[in-house]
Structure 1
Amino acid sequence: MAEKRPVIALAGASGYIGQNLMEKLRKHADIIALSRSGDQKDDEEQVTWRSCDLYSMVDAEKGLEGADIAAYLVHSMLPSAKLTQGKFEDMDVILADNFAQAAKKQGVRQIIYLSGIIPEQEKKLSRHLKSRLEVEEILGAYGVPVTTIRAGLIVGPKGSSFPILKKLVKRLPFMILPKWTRTKTQPIALPDVLHALDSSIGNEEVKGRPVDVGGPDVMTYETMMKRTAAVMGRNPLTINVPFLTVELSKLWVRLVTGSPKEMVYPLIESLTHPMVTQEENKVEGLSEGRISFEEAAREALEKEEENKDGKRALPMFQPMQQDVRSVQRIPIPEGYDADWVGRYYVKWLENTLNPWVKTEVDEDNCCKIGVIFNQSPLLSFDYAKDRSTRDRALYYISGGMLADSGKNVRGRLEFRKIPGRQEAIVAIHDYMPSLPWFFYKYTQAKAHLVVMALFRKHLEKWGSSTVLHHA
């Protein structure tokens, strides 16, 4: 009798690494390919596509149904709505928390997570690496064993870091080398990363632990840029510029490469850290990449040229919609929970904006927010009792003058505790405003950010204030 093939849910299946990993996994597993545009893709042999927006816990639960193992290849650097307000770190919290809770509910036995190398003895990590570590902690917060494959710069024709490096080398008549280019790094070829991910599946030795992976070459970023130039047949003049700070480097790299700032800025910030594998995180057979940097760079460049010459597939675009995602992080006062923060926010809003704002809360915790000179509410929220817990209060945006009632199908507001921290994420998802877009963007959207900043400062003063403790 043939051995049953494992079912692997792949989050980020339409991304570059996800596509390559899927081709490798389908040889010995059945794949549930998760993507926000999954309904636009055709199922293939051993591959079933599912539309899944990981900002929705319901979607995450449906996406992971039937999976034995789940691979998480997701980050939120790029905007996910027409207007995205908030830091990518906070959005990554929501994605990871939904995924982890859904994995627990659906009986997933292992989560495979692709992250970055976390430098040892670094007191202050970059925002990107700090977020990657926080995601790792959240994925493991609900009891499902997590195997984290930590890699530095991945050398492949697409992705993020190597294409940016290639553009720098290709477009500059001479190479400007800031101080951070003397930092050591251990790049790894894409096939070696795929091998480590594939070999981790069902591997009891690596369940619940991080695994550092790197190629055979340890070098500085300066050396890597010079070797990339050599592979491209170039020998540009190099100029060391100690005055070019990380902040200036971010602007310079963005200008030269044309890459979006949401991707460039966090990556450049991370280049100040040495990205070299550590002995305590090495696993024989997984950690040691075998492909040299020059070989990996040459293959990546050749594949890129092949893709240019070949017939390009037209990208799949989501229908343009005027949706909003706004995410902020706030403290939770000691002794309280996220559900309480949600209820307290409405009360605080009326007290702070009194006498202009009025709120109504019924016995089911549903609420309306309005102004004194108008009987109709500005926004109405229905409390989702069946989807809420002490650690997460969920409210559906059910109406109001400021919501587009015809399009506002999935609009919601949530207050979510971050596992292991006395902090919460406040998030608005899939909100469709009724105001004309330009007017909304520069009035209501800005006002929301101001209100959330005031609420955060209010909660930060909780410990030293006695006025709030009766609430």
Structure 2
Amino acid sequence: MEKNTVVALAGASGYIGQNLMEKLKDRSEIIALSRNGDAKEDSDQVTWRSCDLYSMADAEKGLDGADVAVYLVHSMMPSAKLTQGSFEDMDVILADNFAQAAKKVGVKQIVYLSGIIPEDQSRLSRHLKSRLEVEKILGSYGVPVTTIRAGLIVGPRGSSFPILKKLVKRLPFMVLPQWTKTKTQPIALPDVIGSLHQSIGEESLKGRSIDVGGPDVMTYDKMMEQVAGVMDRKPVMVNVPFLTIDLSKLWVRLVTGAPKEMVYPLIESLIHPMVTRSENEVDGISEGKTPFVEAAEWALKEEKKQPKRKSNLPNLPAMQDDVRSVQRIPLPQGHSADWIGKYYVKWLEKVLNPWVKTTVDETHCCQIGVIFNDIPLLEFTYSADRSTKDRALYYISGGRLTNKEKNVRGRLEFRKIPGKDEAIVAIHDYMPSLPWFLYKYTQAKAHLIVMALFRRHLEKWGTHEPSFQVLE
């Protein structure tokens, strides 16, 4: 990496981002991206920027001026007061915005921290399938991507190792399901940081996916045994054949107190061997040097130095009464996301009339109301300037069901998933006018029903062609 390379870190306030930033300070200028970046203090080497990667415009502003962009983002934890949808679909939006913005502002390389993908990809867990999908999306717009794939990262914070430590600390008697016999190759946090650091700006690694792991390959039960030894504990460990993954998720969540949004996807991934493969290894990058026991000792000592956190949730700005609702739908072959957006509002007009009065004008703007009142319930204004063939954007611009004072960034978008005949339909930053409890159990539920009907309509596309046309 050349000195004075400008590196943008997405996820800079996370524990991986903070450690990588310290490593980079001597060699590069850093643009630190965080949802609450404006609250951070700049330094000579670091410029903080507030950036909500659910917004394409924010992503473009955040990455402006960067030579290399590092992607340390996932969406397992909710980012709005009401979040409807899976983390996989939300990850699509984040990655797609990041990749398109990187292309637009001239970023020369994206570095992405992912998980080790097993050789058999036919039945991947939701978490690993999402990590692989994100990797493909990041590389879909022409910016070279270097992916560092790691298994369990041993550090004082994060997700997997702290959960493992809590299990060992809190349980005098441990039942070991079949998945604890799965092989894994844990890696110390400093070694992962070193692999990321060496990859930034390295021409020979562009377009490559690289497995990284520590020197020890072990099973999860062996890992628990060694952590217990480091903690000077001797829990009784008993193998049981009947504890399924679903039961394990509940058990781990109950014991550790970690949120289900984090625990469930991680536990589901434990059925897969997380071991580096020779074809994905690069000398000097893949080989973590720190033995597991030494890494665990270091992580536990570092944890004692850090101030106690009040919550397992990441540090996010205070949530207002905002809504994010994200669904994945089929995209009829040969049609674009912009087309499906225009088709959707025409479909609403046909399906909801006459009980709900829906009108669409020649600019594709939409009003949804009721038959006995001329004032619309919702208004959607089509943004021709911000829409493309692969993305249709509608601003939620008014209506009785919108809080006019607070609804500054509310929007509805339709986005094609690169390489797939699928699209994402998403509502972002919507501020409803109904009292929160009433909204949650009426309007929010109605939206999910409408989207389910639309999805079913599209799934029948081959046998039930539409009876109306959409003007482009």
Same fold at TM > 0.5: yes
Deviation for aligned residue 1:316: 6.0
Q: Calculate the TM-score normalised by the size of structure 1.
A: 0.97
Q: Is the 8 A contact 1:217 1:292 kept in 2?
A: yes
Residue by residue over 1:168-204, the C-alpha shift from the partner in whole angstroms, topping out at 9 and shown as x without a partner, is 0100111110110000000000000000000001111
Deviation for aligned residue 1:468: 4.7
Residue by residue over 1:398-440, the C-alpha shift from the partner in whole angstroms, topping out at 9 and shown as x without a partner, is 1000000000000000000000001100000000000000000
**Residue number in structure 2 paired with 1:81:** 80
**Residue number in structure 1 paired with 2:345:** 346
Work out the CA distance in 1 between the residues paired with 2:465 and 2:328: 23
RMSD: 1.5
Q: Is the 8 A contact 1:402 1:433 kept in 2?
A: yes
Work out the CA distance in 2 between the residues paired with 1:278 and 1:7: 32
**Residue number in structure 2 paired with 1:41:** 40
User: SS at the partner of 1:464?
Assistant: coil
Residue by residue over 1:107-146, the C-alpha shift from the partner in whole angstroms, topping out at 9 and shown as x without a partner, is 0000000000000024210000000000000000000000
Work out the CA distance in 1 between the residues paired with 2:318 and 2:72: 24
**Residue number in structure 2 paired with 1:8:** 7
Q: Does 1:105 align with 2:104?
A: yes
Q: Calculate the TM-score normalised by the size of structure 2.
A: 0.97
**Residue number in structure 2 paired with 1:458:** 457
**Residue number in structure 1 paired with 2:225:** 226
Q: Is the 8 A contact 1:462 1:468 kept in 2?
A: no
Deviation for aligned residue 1:467: 4.6
Work out the CA distance in 2 between the residues paired with 1:316 and 1:425: 27
Which runs of structure 2 are paired with 1:405-420 in the superposition (5 Å)?
A: 405-420=404-419
Work out the CA distance in 2 between the residues paired with 1:328 and 1:468: 24
Q: Is the 8 A contact 2:349 2:359 kept in 1?
A: no
216 and 316 in structure 1: CA distance in 2 versus 1, 3 angstrom threshold: closer
405 and 16 in structure 1: CA distance in 2 versus 1, 3 angstrom threshold: same
Q: Is the 8 A contact 1:5 1:30 kept in 2?
A: yes
User: SS at the partner of 2:271?
Assistant: coil
User: SS at the partner of 2:327?
Assistant: strand
Give % identity.
Answer: 74
**Residue number in structure 2 paired with 1:208:** 207
468 and 206 in structure 1: CA distance in 2 versus 1, 3 angstrom threshold: farther
Work out the CA distance in 2 between the residues paired with 1:126 and 1:317: 27
Work out the CA distance in 2 between the residues paired with 1:411 and 1:84: 14
**Residue number in structure 2 paired with 1:400:** 399
User: SS at the partner of 2:338?
Assistant: helix
Work out the CA distance in 2 between the residues paired with 1:50 and 1:429: 20
Work out the CA distance in 1 between the residues paired with 2:316 and 2:200: 32
142 and 182 in structure 1: CA distance in 2 versus 1, 3 angstrom threshold: same
Q: Is the 8 A contact 2:80 2:319 kept in 1?
A: no
Deviates more, 1:271-280 or 1:318-327: 318-327
Q: Is the 8 A contact 2:172 2:234 kept in 1?
A: no
Q: Does 1:432 align with 2:428?
A: no
Q: What runs of 5+ residues in structure 2 fail to find an aligned partner?
A: none
Deviation for aligned residue 1:334: 1.3
User: SS at the partner of 1:387?
Assistant: coil
Deviation for aligned residue 1:307: 1.6
94 and 467 in structure 1: CA distance in 2 versus 1, 3 angstrom threshold: closer
**Counterpart residue type for residue 434 of structure 1:** S
Q: What runs of 5+ residues in structure 1 fail to find an aligned partner?
A: none
**Residue number in structure 2 paired with 1:280:** 279
Deviation for aligned residue 1:213: 0.0
Deviation for aligned residue 1:470: 5.4
125 and 452 in structure 1: CA distance in 2 versus 1, 3 angstrom threshold: same
Which runs of structure 2 are paired with 1:281-296 in the superposition (5 Å)?
A: 281-296=280-295
**Residue number in structure 1 paired with 2:163:** 164
Residue by residue over 1:224-245, the C-alpha shift from the partner in whole angstroms, topping out at 9 and shown as x without a partner, is 0110111100111101111000
Residue by residue over 1:301-332, the C-alpha shift from the partner in whole angstroms, topping out at 9 and shown as x without a partner, is 0011122489x9xx966234100000000011
